[in-house]
Structure 1
Amino acid sequence: MKPTATALALALSASAVFAQDKVTIEFAYPYSHLFDVTYQAMMPAFEAAHPDIEVKFRATYESYEDGTNTILREAVSGNLPDVTMQGLNRQQILVEKGIARSLAPFIAKEADFETEGYHQAMLSLSTFDDAVFGLPFSVSLPVGYYNMDILKAGGIESLPTTWDEVIAACETMKANGVQNPVFWGWNITGNWFMQALMWSQDKAIVENGHVTLDSPEALAALEQMQAIFTKCDMQNLDWKAALASFSAGEIGMMFWSTSALGAVERSQGDFDLVTGPFPGMDETPRGLPAGGNAAMLTSTSEDPRVQEAAWAWLKFITSGEGAAEVAKTTGYMPPNKAANEIILADFYQQNPNKQTAVDQLPLLRDWLAYPGDNGLAITQVIYDGIERIVTGEAADMKALQEELVEEVADLLPNG
């Protein structure tokens, strides 16, 4: 039977009403090369569960620092997204400035929040003054990526466990004609590898508001970096160039976040890829900084429907179902227990290269932010100092340490 004109009119009217009832929220996240594929994998399930919500994706942040700077600017201009993804070490400044909204009212309405995988250890990563301001989305640790074809060609069968062994492997590879044996991720966001060398010695880079660059452990970290850079003849590559070179089979060893494993595997050339634990300074690391990010509610809308839509999206991407896609498409570990214990029960056994970071979880330590409003500027000071080691401009590590201590002190609230 053909539909009548009245029936067609009613159908069109209903469609128009549905379209008008659809709520649009805006979302921003970092690292498109890592996470684009993750959100693409998530969207079908979210759209099926929430047909009345449209998620508008903003331009991605280049890095966690870029993400925080962008949000700070948007707070001034009144153009904040409804949900933002921020580095775990960049949450506090958004809380202190009143940009991030407490999630307590939304969590209070959830009947089975903990049984859905949101356990206390997860929530503590985004808890400030006893209130939850974010839901952690992914957790990463530093690992080693190895081209076993290159290593074995030089007679290297075992993965290095210390930086001295890494340097020895570099010497072997150079003698075997490898021009760039290693890439060591000094330029990763938030001085993460500097903190990794500090935590390896069980030393925090911030203690009681004091940045501990004046410590013996900080000097040892600088000296260790210099040894790796100079003795391995490491080229000063940015991340994308390093990834391309490693994927092409030109670099034997790469040290970076486990978060990039999915991207590495997707671009990998024809060689045997193996991941291994992050080497230590003469011994197994005593700690490593937890990288990763958390979803935060930054919506300025007072419309309850927009707020509830933003919460629905924020909760979905950090849920067991959403977090499982993080593990499948990247090398990040999902902090949601439901993802790890139920959905991914056999996943890590079937993906041993992703198991490496999981095995290092007992070493997990805080990825620390620098105190005060100049935290991002302190990050840049340390970044610039390390780059001077890479380029050979800085040769005296004690002198460099003294310069960094003085520059950072000028940026701290307490001097």
Structure 2
Amino acid sequence: MKTTVSAIVLSAIATVAAAEDKVTIEFAYPYSHLFDVTYEAMMPAFQEAHPNIEVKFRSTYESYEDGTNTILREAVSGNLPDVTMQGLNRQQILVEKGIAQSLEPFIAKEADFAKDGYHDAMLSLSTFDNSVHGLPFSVSLPVGYYNMDVLRAGGIEALPTTWDEVIAACETMKANGVKNPIFWGWNITGNWFMQALMWSQDKAIVENAAVTLDSPEALNALTQMQEIFTKCEMQNLEWKAALASFSAGEIGMMFWSTSALGAVERSQGDFELVTGPFPGMGEKPQGLPAGGNAAMLTSTSDDPRVQEAAWAWLKFITSGDGAAEVAKTTGYMPPNKAANEVILADFYTQNPNKQTAVDQLPLLRDWLAYPGDNGLAITQVIYDGIERIVTGDATDMQELQEELVEEVNDLLPNS
């Protein structure tokens, strides 16, 4: 009996010690409908490698803008997560405000950091003042999603390569009884499609700390959107409703981020889905903005164990094995050499719909943030302007351009 009691006591002591050794970190990320399945796939391998680390998942951000606003509020209230996922275009403000920590001290301790797939081209996306502040987790590009059953029923056999061809396809499909031929992702985060049309003309939306909405290319972009919305008679759908409608087989063509491909495939109805390159404005796009997000360390803990645990999680999810799950469960491309060249060597051959975005990588350009503390407000101004085109409230694109330029200039630093 004494032996049994002693064993029980020793077991209890060991259990208490193990509990004391366990480190809990908090993690926040956007877009639960895209990434929940990704982190679920990652967790078993992470828990096996790090049994003493518990990752507590916070409520997901609705969007990248929501993620940045949330972090800015939490920095004031003293309630920051240890690791946060932020849009590639939203990192700089967190660095400038001292919220995101430099990862250089952690990287310096890693003997095989480069061998894990972290190369300069990837790190440059999150490098500020020659210091790495984030590790990119996923990269996306805009693509076309096509329901080939709807297209063929509407009289379309070949995928369009320009917006003029898209509009012509809309008109043919409408004439053949297709009620909703298109959804064009104007309401995607960060004015991404506005920037896609700008980069298609090889024009950045931000140059020398100024927003280039007064440029001929910006007017071309607004005019192109108006033609798509009006001539295709596009319904003004909220983006989640649009993705659900396309997945259900109700929309012929959808232009959106490749990031949603995994989610679309998981909820796809009985139809043939094909992806194609993002169409151009009369010719092939000269560039396209890189979407996606990066993992940033925002822990305020003084405990070195928490800091190291947060780094272990951050490094794992962006490493070869972790990053490979991004490609397998979403349509994002992992910006990690080891994941793409070793782990996913045959993956894209077997998944041609996910190959489309990879083929567009030579067009990759920066997804630009607007200057100053009012960057999120500028995003909203441009969003509201485009929505006026969708609803038909704005019909004169030159007049709209002048209004947007005035409103945005009022929000820029030193204006």
> Which residue is 1:404 aligned to?
404
Deviation digits for residues 148-171 of structure 1, max 9, x if unmatched? Answer: 001112231111000000000101
Structure 1 distance, partners of 2:97, 2:277, is: 38
Deviation digits for residues 281-303 of structure 1, max 9, x if unmatched? Answer: 00000000000000000000111
Structure 2 distance, partners of 1:351, 1:289, is: 23
Shift in Å, 1:21? 1.1
Structure 2 contact 155–176 (Cα < 8 Å) conserved: no
> Which residue is 2:336 aligned to?
336
Aligned Cα root-mean-square deviation (Å) = 1.0
> Which residue is 1:219 aligned to?
219
**1:361 pairs with 2:361:** yes
Shift in Å, 1:12? 1.3
Structure 1 distance, partners of 2:356, 2:239, is: 21
Structure 2 distance, partners of 1:176, 1:142, is: 28
- Where in structure 1 do 4 or more consecutive aligned residues deviate above 3 Å? none
Shift in Å, 1:2? 11
> Which residue is 2:9 aligned to?
9
Q: Which amino acid aligns with 1:378?
A: I
> Which residue is 2:72 aligned to?
72
Q: Which amino acid aligns with 1:19?
A: A
Structure 1 distance, partners of 2:176, 2:8, is: 75
> Which residue is 1:312 aligned to?
312
Q: Which amino acid aligns with 1:16?
A: V
What is the DSSP-based 3-state SS (H/G/I as helix, E as strand, rest coil) of the residue aligned with 2:309? helix
1:382-401 to 2 correspondence within 5 Å? 382-401=382-401
Structure 2 distance, partners of 1:243, 1:270, is: 15
Structure 1 distance, partners of 2:12, 2:77, is: 39
Q: Which amino acid aligns with 2:398?
A: K
1:224-235 to 2 correspondence within 5 Å? 224-235=224-235
Structure 1 contact 29–86 (Cα < 8 Å) conserved: yes
What is the DSSP-based 3-state SS (H/G/I as helix, E as strand, rest coil) of the residue aligned with 1:259? helix
**1:321 pairs with 2:306:** no
Structure 1 contact 236–391 (Cα < 8 Å) conserved: yes
What is the DSSP-based 3-state SS (H/G/I as helix, E as strand, rest coil) of the residue aligned with 1:47? helix
> Which residue is 1:27 aligned to?
27
> Which residue is 1:288 aligned to?
288
**1:248 pairs with 2:248:** yes
Shift in Å, 1:8? 1.4
Structure 1 distance, partners of 2:157, 2:339, is: 34
> Which residue is 1:113 aligned to?
113
Q: Which amino acid aligns with 1:153?
A: A
What is the DSSP-based 3-state SS (H/G/I as helix, E as strand, rest coil) of the residue aligned with 1:20? helix
Structure 2 distance, partners of 1:56, 1:154, is: 49
> Which residue is 1:163 aligned to?
163
Structure 1 contact 118–337 (Cα < 8 Å) conserved: yes
Shift in Å, 1:414? 3.1
> Which residue is 2:149 aligned to?
149
Structure 2 distance, partners of 1:168, 1:362, is: 28
> Which residue is 2:53 aligned to?
53
What is the DSSP-based 3-state SS (H/G/I as helix, E as strand, rest coil) of the residue aligned with 1:203? coil
> Which residue is 1:203 aligned to?
203
> Which residue is 1:122 aligned to?
122
Structure 1 contact 22–53 (Cα < 8 Å) conserved: yes
* Unmatched 5+ stretches in structure 1: none
Structure 1 distance, partners of 2:312, 2:30, is: 20
What is the DSSP-based 3-state SS (H/G/I as helix, E as strand, rest coil) of the residue aligned with 1:372? coil
* Unmatched 5+ stretches in structure 2: none
Which deviates more, 145-154 or 73-82?
145-154
Task: Give the number of aligned pairs.
Answer: 415
Question: When the two structures are superposed, what TM-score results if normalisation uses the length of structure 2?
Answer: 0.99
Q: Which amino acid aligns with 2:215?
A: S
1:239-278 to 2 correspondence within 5 Å? 239-278=239-278
Identical residues among aligned pairs (%):
87
